[in-house]
A and B are shown apart, each in its own frame.
Chain A
Amino acid sequence: MALDQLDNFDEVLRSAKNGNDLAFSVIYRHYYQSLEKYAHFKSPRYVDEITGETWLGVVEGLSKFEGGEREFRSWLFTIARNKLVDILKKKRPELVEFSEKGEVTGEEGDGGDIVGEEIVTREQVKEVINFIRSSLNPDEAEVIILRVLMGFDGREVASLMGLREVNVRVLQHRGLHKLAQRVAKAPPGVFTNLTIT
Chain B
Amino acid sequence: MKIFGIRPQDDDRILSGDVFKDDAPPGYSKVVGLLEILGSSSSISKDSGESNLSMLLEKRALLASQDSAGTSDISQVSKSKKKRQPIFVAAIAATVLFISALVSAANGSLPVGLQNSADHIMSALGIGVPNPPSTLTSPVIIASCQGYLTNGQIPDNVQLSQLQQLASNSGQSLDVFCSKQLGITSLANSKHFNQVSNPGATAPGQGSNPGSTAPGQGSNPGATAPGQGSNPGSTAPGQGSNPGATAPGQGSNPGSTAPGQGSNPGATAPGQGSNPGATAPGSGAK
Q: Are A28 and B49 in contact (CB under 8 A)?
A: yes
Interface assignment of A97: CB less than 8 Å from any CB of chain B: no
Contact of B16 among A40, A128, A151, A181 (CB under 8 A): A151
Query: B60 on the interface (CB 8 Å rule)?
Result: yes
* Chain A residues with CB under 8 A of B8: 169, 173
- Decide: B36 and A47 in contact? CB cutoff 8 A: no
Whether A116 lies near B38 (C-beta < 8 A) is: no
**Within 8 Å CB of A111, what residues of B?**
42-43, 46, 48
Residue of A nearest to B35 (CB): A148
Select which of B28, B38, B56 is within 8 A of A28 by beta carbon. Answer: B56
When A125-B42, A173-B11 are in contact, do A179 and B36 touch as well, CB less than 8 Å? no
Residues on A with C-beta less than 8 A from B6 are 173, 176-177
Interface residue from B14, B30, B49, B59 paired with A32 (Cβ < 8 Å)? B49
A154 closest partner in B (C-beta): B12
B89 within 8 A of A: no
Q: Let me know if A169 and B27 touch, CB within 8 A.
A: no
Point out the residues of chain A lying under 8 angstroms from B33, CB to CB. Answer: 194, 196
- A28-B60 Cα distance, complex, nearest whole Å: 13
How many residues in A have their beta carbons less than 8 Å from beta carbons of B?
59
> DSSP class of B's interface residues: helix, strand, loop or mixed?
helix
Does A180 contact B28, Cβ atoms closer than 8 Å?
A: yes
Option from A21, A37, A179 in Cβ contact (under 8 Å) with B44: A37
Stretch at the interface among A1-9, A55-63, A66-74: A55-63
Expressed in whole angstroms, the minimum distance between the Cβ of B201 and any Cβ of chain A is 91
- Given A172-B11, A196-B30, A147 and B36 touching (CB < 8 A)? no
Closest residue of chain A to B53 (Cβ to Cβ) is A28
Contacting pair B43 A122 (CB below 8 A): yes
CA A52 – CA B53 in complex, angstroms? 9
| B48 lies within 8 A of A33 (CB) | yes
CA of A59 to CA of B56 in the docked complex: distance in angstroms? Answer: 7
B3 touches A (CB below 8 Å): yes
B53 and A33 form a contact (CB under 8 A) = no
B34 near A176: Cβ-Cβ < 8 Å: no
- The docked-state distance in angstroms from the alpha carbon of A32 to that of B17 is 19
Q: Does A124 contact B (CB under 8 A)?
A: yes
Residue pair A33, B15 in contact (C-beta under 8 Å):
no
Q: List 7 A-B contacts (CB under 8 A).
A: A33-B43, A55-B56, A125-B38, A125-B42, A149-B38, A180-B28, A194-B34
Interface residues of A (CB under 8 A from B): 19, 21, 24-25, 28-29, 32-33, 36-37, 40, 47-48, 51-52, 55-56, 59-60, 63, 105-106, 110-113, 115-116, 120-122, 124-126, 128-129, 131-132, 144-145, 147-149, 151, 153-154, 169, 172-173, 176-177, 179-181, 183-184, 194, 196-197
Residues of chain B at the chain A interface (Cβ within 8 Å): 1, 3, 5-6, 8, 11-12, 14-17, 21, 27-28, 30-31, 33-46, 48-49, 52-53, 56-57, 59-61, 63-64, 67
